[in-house]
């Protein structure tokens, strides 16, 4: 038994398989809960795998040997985001002014207030840099975090938590503000809470979902362009 374990624990097969199974388990729990935002499949998969690694005494480097094949697909997936963005381009042309204004306002608010609150509460520079791109979709956020000197692994978790917070707060928040325009509600959610927020928007309203997708795509581009300057401004 121990021999089999030490053989498998050395190759990439074990942890690649574990990553896929953990994700399927997380996704199953998410569906079983009736798609509750706080039952996030990624967060559940991460918790499952972290517990497995700790219990088996496996370090992250060994785990990543296997998981890197999944991680690698982030690059091509980021490129592929151009397709849904292209599909929604007719909205972008027609509503260029409100879209661009809300994009810049939402994106800057997300970055500046996150860094500002974190700074006021005494977070270290590297943590602040990891926090800066947390409203963008994960593959892009990891790239930005690495570029500006943050920690991509910390950013990955902050991105997921941001999405969950956005998905939970958006409906009560915007109802209280009496904003009824589904385009505005969806777009702001996509800008502030990326794919998890977009999934939530689609649950509530089809138009809100489409505009959330546009917000997510445009904010990936904008944050990549301005995050380095914001990082320099603060640190």
Partner 1 sequence: MIAHVALLLALQLAGEAIVRATSLPIPGPVLGMALFLMLLIARPKTAKAVQPTTSGLLSHLSLLFVPAGVGIIGHLDRLAGQGLALFAALLGSTVLAIAVGALTFSLLAKDR
Give, as ranges, the residues between 76 and 105 that touch partner 1 (CB under 8 A).
Answer: 76-87, 89, 94-95, 97-99, 101-103, 105
Among the listed ranges 6-14, 31-39, 216-224, the one in contact with partner 1 (CB under 8 A) is 216-224
Residue 39 interacts with partner 1 (CB under 8 A)?
no
Residue 67 interacts with partner 1 (CB under 8 A)?
yes
Which member of 63, 129, 200, 210 binds partner 1 (CB under 8 A)?
63
Residue 57 interacts with partner 1 (CB under 8 A)?
no
CA dihedral 228, 169, 215, 112 (to 10 degrees): -20
CA-to-CA distance for 67 and 54, rounded, in angstroms? 16
- Nearer Cβ to partner 1 (2/31): 31
- Nearer Cβ to partner 1 (2/132): 132
What tokens does 64 get?
């990543």
Residue 21 interacts with partner 1 (CB under 8 A)?
no
CA-to-CA distance for 147 and 141, rounded, in angstroms? 10
**Minimum CB separation from partner 1 for residue 223, in Å?**
9
Supply the DSSP symbol for 36: -
| Count, residues near partner 1 per rule CB under 8 A | 111
Residue 11 interacts with partner 1 (CB under 8 A)?
no
Supply the DSSP symbol for 133: T
**Minimum CB separation from partner 1 for residue 1, in Å?**
25
> Restricting to residues 174-193, which ones interact with partner 1 according to CB under 8 A?
174, 177, 179-181, 183-185, 187-189, 191-193
Half-sphere exposure of 207 (CA within 13 A, CB side): 7
Which member of 1, 4, 55, 121 binds partner 1 (CB under 8 A)?
121
Among the listed ranges 3-11, 31-39, 154-162, the one in contact with partner 1 (CB under 8 A) is 154-162
Residue 212 interacts with partner 1 (CB under 8 A)?
no
CA-to-CA distance for 15 and 63, rounded, in angstroms? 6
Backbone angles phi, psi at 180, to 5 degrees: -110, -10
**Minimum CB separation from partner 1 for residue 26, in Å?**
8
Per-residue binder mask for partner 1 (CB under 8 A), 132-151, x = binder = --xx-xxxx-xxx-xx---x
What 3-state DSSP class applies to 34? coil
Q: Which residue, chain included where needed, has tokens 């896929």?
A: 20
CA distances from 173 to 127, 167, 170, 189 (A): 27, 11, 5, 11
Nearest-CA neighbor of 200 among 222, 229, 174?
A: 174
CA-to-CA distance for 206 and 107, rounded, in angstroms? 23
Residue 13 interacts with partner 1 (CB under 8 A)?
no
């Amino acid at each position: 038994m121990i021999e089999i374990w030490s053989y498998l624990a050395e190759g990439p097969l074990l942890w690649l398989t574990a990553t896929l199974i953990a994700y399927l388990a997380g996704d199953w729990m998410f569906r079983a809960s009736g798609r509750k935002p706080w039952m996030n499949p990624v967060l559940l998969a991460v918790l499952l795998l972290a517990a497995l690694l700790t219990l088996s005494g496996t370090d992250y480097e060994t785990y990543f040997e296997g998981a890197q094949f999944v991680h690698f697909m982030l690059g091509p997936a980021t490129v592929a985001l151009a397709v849904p963005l292209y599909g929604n381009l007719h909205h972008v042309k027609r509503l260029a002014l409100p879209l661009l204004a809300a994009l810049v306002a939402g994106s800057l608010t997300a970055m500046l207030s996150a860094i500002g609150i974190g700074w006021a509460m005494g977070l270290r520079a590297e943590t602040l840099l990891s926090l800066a791109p947390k409203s963008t979709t994960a593959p892009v956020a990891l790239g930005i975090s690495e570029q500006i000197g943050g920690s991509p692994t910390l950013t990955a978790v902050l991105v997921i938590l941001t999405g969950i917070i956005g998905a939970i707060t958006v409906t009560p928040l915007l109802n209280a503000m009496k904003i009824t325009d589904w385009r505005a509600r969806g777009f702001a959610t996509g800008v502030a809470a990326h794919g998890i927020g977009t999934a939530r928007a689609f649950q509530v309203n089809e138009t809100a979902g489409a505009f959330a997708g546009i917000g997510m795509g445009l904010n990936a581009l904008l944050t990549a362009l301005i995050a380095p300057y914001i990082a320099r401004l603060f640190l």
